[in-house]
């Protein structure tokens, strides 16, 4: 930053002392706008509906009314008016219709699945989010810190008329007093002792790079604008990433490419998502188009949007949400405070818990405690297994109950059948629900 430039709230000053004049109140600051986006997004977030709650609205009144009708209407219109027999059938009918199996096994399936997921470092904040995950169709990633480590490293060294080690040695000496992340990555890549006696005066060219006296000669290390300023005939690089040029006076010496490191499991994670039934993967990033497209190609991402601001990410997610069909759900995965509005706007937000910001973790519905993107597909598979078990229990319980209800009304099924249809079915459904705890091989 130079005198007169605007500084966004939340920026980090890596070195030196700067004076900043506050030009807006808190309510107009960047952080405040991000929080406002979070709050507005929360209001529009879709919520999963509970099947049992909807089912009970009509099931309970219907079966109670049916039992009363069974107890009193048939004996009125039959010979002998045998009220005791029909009241007995009605009582069996009520015992069978008791929804214990559903009321117990359905929540238990979700609790078991949430417990099994937590043992694998996947924290799900509620059964509704687990249910929504099973319908995931699109997964949107933030790049830095999610698919990549967020740690800059030297990915290529391209010298002119000298060796790679010599070019890296000169650049590391010039950058040795800087605390900038790119400078630190060059020094780390050099990995050798730098003799301070080799280094003379060092000055920073604002927004351009560094001018340093190395071994008695003036060396420039920085971007292409710095090379233009000193008259060096610099070369562009076909490698994606940040290019740091080095010149001895106006004589071009070569360049070094700095790139973010892709996480070990990112490519596998994208492939596993496809196997889990995800139809589209998208990456959102503030990086340059060239670097973003290279990362997306490496990882097998279907669609990429680059050079985005936090507000742009929300807009892109809004557009993707409009493209959905039916009950399909959109998942967003991020880690930074800038991702918080998008995490809340998506149908399901997943945050990286180890290195992620508190705002992102608070806004997310699912938190991955070890930042492993491979856990995203595991979370989806756990939710799919959980929903399969839930539907199995619902279908099994209702099928047995309706069969016994019909047999009880006809006088074929006695109270023993009724008890099995109630307690027996509940025990079987509970044992089936416990299977949701087993997530080892998913």
Quote the CA–CA distance of 342 and 314 in Å, as a whole number.
Answer: 5
Best CA proximity match to 233, nearest among 160, 328, 131: 160
Tokens of 186: 């060059």
> Which neighbouring-strand residues pair with 123?
367
Tokens of 214: 């190395």
Buried b (16+ CB within 10 A) or exposed e, 183-219: bbbbbebbeeebeeeebeebebbeebbbbbbbeeeeb
Quote the CA–CA distance of 80 and 355 in Å, as a whole number.
Answer: 78
Are the C-beta atoms of residues 267 and 300 closer than 8 Å to each other? yes
Q: Beta strands of 66-135 (E only): which ranges?
A: 122-124
Are the C-beta atoms of residues 313 and 284 closer than 8 Å to each other? yes
Half-sphere exposure of 55 (CA within 13 A, CB side): 11
Quote the CA–CA distance of 412 and 59 in Å, as a whole number.
Answer: 23
Q: Map tokens 């060219």 to a residue.
A: 205
> Which neighbouring-strand residues pair with 367?
123, 351
Active site residue 233: no
Quote the CA–CA distance of 16 and 50 in Å, as a whole number.
Answer: 56
Strand 251-262 versus strand 148-159 pairing type: antiparallel
Q: Map tokens 């508190």 to a residue.
A: 358
Query: Which residues, including other chains, have CB under 8 Å from residue 205's CB and lie 6 or more apart?
Result: 211, 220, 222, 226, 229
Quote the CA–CA distance of 185 and 163 in Å, as a whole number.
Answer: 19
74, burial (CB in 10 Å: exposed 0-12, middle 13-18, buried 19+):
middle
Q: Beta strands of 309-433 (E only): which ranges?
A: 329-334, 348-352, 366-368
User: Longest Cα pair distance anywhere in the chain, in angstroms?
Assistant: 120
- What sign does the dihedral 53-54-55-59 (CA atoms) show? positive
Quote the CA–CA distance of 323 and 309 in Å, as a whole number.
Answer: 21
Choose the catalytic residue: 142, 169, 335, 422.
Answer: 142
* Residues labelled as active-site residues: 142
């Amino acid at each position: 930053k130079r005198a007169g430039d605007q500084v966004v709230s939340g920026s980090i000053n890596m070195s030196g002392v700067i004076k900043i004049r506050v030009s807006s109140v808190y309510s107009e600051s960047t952080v405040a706008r991000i929080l406002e986006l979070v709050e507005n997004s929360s209001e529009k977030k879709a919520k999963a509906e509970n099947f049992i709650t909807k089912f009970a609205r009509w099931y309970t009144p219907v079966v109670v009314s049916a039992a009363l009708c069974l107890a009193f209407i048939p004996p009125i219109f039959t010979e002998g008016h045998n009220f005791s027999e029909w009241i007995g059938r009605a009582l069996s009918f009520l015992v069978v219709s008791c929804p214990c199996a559903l009321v117990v096994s359905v929540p238990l399936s979700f609790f078991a699945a949430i417990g099994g997921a937590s043992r694998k470092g996947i924290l799900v904040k509620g059964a509704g989010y687990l249910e929504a995950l099973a319908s995931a169709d699109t997964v949107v990633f933030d790049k830095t810190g999610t698919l990549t480590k967020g740690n800059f490293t030297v990915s290529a060294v391209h010298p002119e008329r000298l060796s790679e080690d010599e070019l890296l040695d000169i650049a590391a000496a010039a950058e040795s007093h800087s605390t900038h992340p790119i400078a630190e990555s060059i020094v780390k890549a050099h990995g050798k002792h730098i003799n301070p006696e080799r280094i003379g005066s060092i000055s920073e060219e604002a927004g351009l790079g560094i001018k340093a006296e190395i071994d008695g000669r003036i060396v420039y290390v920085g971007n292409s604008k710095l090379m233009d300023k000193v008259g060096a005939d610099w070369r562009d690089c076909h490698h994606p990433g940040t290019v740091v040029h080095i010149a001895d006076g106006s004589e071009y010496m070569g360049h070094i490419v700095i790139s973010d490191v892709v996480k070990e499991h990112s490519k596998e994670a994208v492939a596993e998502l496809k196997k889990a039934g995800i139809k589209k993967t998208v990456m959102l990033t503030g990086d340059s188009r060239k670097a973003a497209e290279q990362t997306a190609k490496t990882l097998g991402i279907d669609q990429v949007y680059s050079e985005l601001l936090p507000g742009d990410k929300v807009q892109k997610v809004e557009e993707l949400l409009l493209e959905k069909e039916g009950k399909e759900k959109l998942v967003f995965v991020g880690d930074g405070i800038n991702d918080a509005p998008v995490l809340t706007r998506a149908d399901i937000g997943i945050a990286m818990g180890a290195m992620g910001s508190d705002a992102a973790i608070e806004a997310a519905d699912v938190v991955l405690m070890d930042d492993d993107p491979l856990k995203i597909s595991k979370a989806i598979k756990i939710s799919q297994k959980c929903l399969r078990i839930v539907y199995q229990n619902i279908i099994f319980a209702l099928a047995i109950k309706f069969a016994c209800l019909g047999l009880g009304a006809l006088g074929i099924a006695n109270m023993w059948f009724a008890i099995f249809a109630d307690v027996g079915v509940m025990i079987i459904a509970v044992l089936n629900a416990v299977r949701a705890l087993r997530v080892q091989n998913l």
